[in-house]
A and B are shown apart, each in its own frame.
Chain A
Amino acid sequence: MLQYIARRLLYMVPTLLIISVIAFAIIELPPGDYLTAYMANLAQTGTQASEDAIAALKRQYGLDKPVYLRYVHWVWRLLHGDMGMSFEWNRPVAELIWERLILTFVVSLFTTLFIWAVAFPIGIYSAVRQYSVGDYIFTGLSFIGLGIPNFLLALVLLWFAFSRWGVALTGLFSPQYMDAPWSMAKVLDMMKRIWIPVVILGTSGTAGLIRTMRANLLDELRKPYVITARAKGLPEMRLLFKYPVRIAINPFISTVGWTLPGLVSGATIVSVVLSLPLNGPLLLNALLNQDMYLAGSFIMLLSSLTVIGTLVSDILLAWVDPRIRYT
């Protein structure tokens, strides 16, 4: 097992290196750079910069160096834990991401818990009571959940809340708590609002997992060992949870890894629509504005977390499912 983990860790090094190249390349792809946009703004505000001035600014931002040098510089700093400065926000990238991290984490965690709490029992129920009225209802609902885009649901909810109660349900706090220090009251206030993004973000995830759970469990339930166990008189509930469910749960575990980057980035579009102070919109803006270091470091962080998450998933799977071990 230890050897397995060590090998996997070793694989991560080249993977991350390749990712860093790709991440950097993606940011360099669009024409122009942060300065193009910046100079354009300067021009619009009545300042026409001379060629000399542009060159000076390029030097100041380090944009005059060839691409590979900038890449090396960036990776070197990254290795030292320095994610660079955001051009647009004029602050260290790490600070920007960090200050939004807690809320992003909370929302994502709640969402994941919500998804599991709902999808798990419903998936089992649907499989065990296949083609029952309940199964049809849940199946119908989950198809709707899969079919409606999250942001649309968010918009509809916002409008509903406004027309019903006359409030704009944006953000995670009501105005009086927004700039208040953390307190019990503030947490309670957040709880009042957090269900909106959680439910919205949860719908499609829930729907997806219900379908997966149902399909996997159905496969297992038809296998001979289940029939054998039942024939031997094992109580139905015990039988269900001891074997088929344990195997059907594999997809949950293998996706645990993917929730890790999700915990950091949050759901971008829904965050934009609901104006949640999470990391997703930050990344979106960085990409739009070619805020190179913010975007690059962010993508790098997410990729690293995906890789780490996948490793965690694999280890968990190996632990839960003996069939996978040591391959």
Chain B
Amino acid sequence: MVVASLFFYLFATVTVASAFMVIASRNPVHSVLFLILAFFNAAGLFMLTGAEFLALILIVVYVGAVAVLFLFVVMMLDVDFAEMREGFLQYLPIGALIGLVLAIELILVLGSFAIDTETVAATAVQPIPDLAETSNIKALGDLLYTKYIFFFQLSGLILLVAMVGAIVLTLSHRPDVKRQNVAEQVARDPNDVVLASVKSGEGI
């Protein structure tokens, strides 16, 4: 038990600290790396509660795909983040003040809210399965593809809309851009190929 709480505080502290560093660090690449650290520690927290499937999904999806995508964007786009963030400190006090007021209000309202595990178990629409008998994935799948099939399918459709939207807004067929034609390249006669040594920075 002591080990578990020790790990909980370790993961929680590192998560919060690295989340703060994401917005505080000057170098955007460092921000992304801190984000990855935050994801890993959040996965550790999931692991502690026995949700191993969610923990692994978090690492695969967020670290494997999303964070790498962020890195690409940060490195490919020539955005001067330091300049963008110049106003950050200027607005920090007022932003912090508003956030503080909102937080105090919410704490006052919701402070009385305590989760009683017994009532939760009694009123749960679907009984929580015993983790000793069934695995995470099986329990999730049992719900996702039966009771929540409607929501599952709808989420899929929303992703389709997002994909169509991204393509509509970004894909352009500009006639002046040369594109690679693989079939043409493969079908080329080796005798026609002209080899030229190009000096760097000059072109042909």
> Is B one of A's binding partners?
no
Question: B interface vs A, CB < 8 Å?
Answer: none
